[in-house]
Chain A
Amino acid sequence: MLRLGLALVAVLGLTVAAGLRFALLLAIGLGLGYTLERMGFGFAGPWRRFIRERNAQGLLAQLLAIGLAASFIQPLLAGNEQFIGAIAPVSISMVLAAAVFGFAMQLVLGCGSGTLVNAGSGNLVALVALPFFCIGSFLGTLLLPSALATFSHTTVDLNELGVGLSLSLTWAGLLLVGLIAVTLSQGPRLNRRLLTAAAIVAGLAVVHVLVAGQPWGVVYGLGLWVAKISLALGWDPAGAVFWSHPVNQATLNGSVLTDVTSLTSIGLVAGAAWAAWKSSDATPLAPGLARWIWLIVALAGLVLGVSSRLAFGCNVGGLFSGIASGSLHGWAWLVAGFVGSIGGVWVRDRLWARGTA
């Protein structure tokens, strides 16, 4: 009851301080964080279980969530000019970055949303990785112009084919991936808890678009936080192409409390803390890991940040929202990220076997 009261105070306080739209975004983040932590819905963990155990339950729930979200988001994007989709270009650097992200997210067992949720639940690996993830995301913004200049980038927006065809292609792709997953899987394929979580996540993602006018993302906010700290320490953003863009200039000079991705990310952390509060007393903070493992965790966090920026989003902004918006880069992200994850699972198993006390 106390936690619910605190959440309501935060949402009401933000309504007064910044406006109802931003309070609603914080509430959406709280709902997402609570759902992901309480119901065990995620991205890195289910991919790991599918790769190691041929357990497709989590992967199929992800596909359902993306499909449900796409069914509402793509018609919204088609019918309203004020809505912005998570449409980004495909390139060699984008695909490589998604593969590297998939690799690194298996090392820390946390993707974009997963690292925030795990940190919010008091997981020390995520708590160590998160600040480096933020720094990496900022570094990624400084590297992105070079990547854009070096490689040819092509944007493919399926919505240009018409919403009916775009949605049909999206569902066909999701069904194909689901069919492959089912064929390769072992044991029960459907999990009622995960499917329920998928429906909730999809619903919140759609509401996010209605409120913010753009899909759910994570990485943008992480880089913004470090950019704002750097600005306070004397960094001059005028020399950075990314931060000279009018949209980014506006967010850099504005309040974090009015930045869309920052609010949902803060909500994710707080929602996960809310869900994990009672059980957190029973779990030790520090897992028995060798010191060198912590260096790998920090490095993986840094890599997650850089790669997600170069891949135009993490599993949320790139994969989930990309596919749900009808962007081809979301599909490229899915394939590359999964290939990277196969390597990441293999390396993690060996490293953690040596580094666990």
Chain B
Amino acid sequence: MTRKTGIWCLLAVVIVLLGMDVVTSPPDPYAAPDPLVWGSSEGGSGALCSLPGQ
């Protein structure tokens, strides 16, 4: 087996997990934010690694 097998397996897992997520919590295209936060009145989501979460 080569690394291509590993790539196929990983992509398959990612696609299955994404599919399950889309079924359980589908995104709403009608609630889509502006393409860029820059120039928009909206801010970043704040869901980032440095968030202490308290």
Contact, CB under 8 Å: A312 / B49: yes
Question: What is the minimal beta-carbon distance from B15 to any residue of chain A, in angstroms?
Answer: 10
A215: chain B residues at CB < 8 Å are 48
B11 contact set on A, CB distance < 8 A: 269-270, 273
CB contacts under 8 Å to B, within A293-315, are 308, 312-314
Please tell me the number of chain A residues within 8 Å of chain B, measured between CB atoms: 89
* 8 Å CB contact of A17 from B29, B33, B48: B29
Q: List 11 A-B contacts (CB under 8 A).
A: A18-B28, A24-B35, A119-B10, A122-B6, A144-B53, A148-B52, A209-B38, A213-B38, A214-B46, A256-B17, A321-B48
Segment touching B, from A47-55, A159-167, A280-288 = A280-288
The answer to whether B21 touches A121 (Cβ under 8 A) is no
Of A253, A257, A260, A316, which contacts B45 at CB under 8 A?
A260
Residues of A within 8 A of B2 (CB): 122, 280-285
Chain B nearest Cβ from A13, distance in angstroms = 11
Interface of B is mostly: loop
With both chains docked as a complex, state the minimum distance between the C-beta of A271 and any C-beta of chain B, in angstroms: 12
> Chain B interface: which size bin?
35 or more
User: Closest CB-CB distance, B32 to chain A, in whole Å?
Assistant: 3
Cβ contacts under 8 Å, B20 to chain A: 232
Measured CB to CB, the closest approach of chain A to B36, in angstroms, equals: 5
A153 proximal to B (CB < 8 A): yes
| Contact A259–B50 (Cβ < 8 Å) | no
Known contacts A121-B3, A121-B7, A277-B7; is A86 also within 8 Å of B50 by CB?
A: yes
A219–B37 touching, CB < 8 Å: no
Q: Which residues of B contact A329 (CB under 8 A)?
A: 50
The reply to whether B6 and A88 contact each other, CB–CB distance below 8 Å, is no
With contacts A21-B33, A81-B43, A280-B7 taken as known, whether A253 is within 8 angstroms of B25 at the C-beta atoms is yes
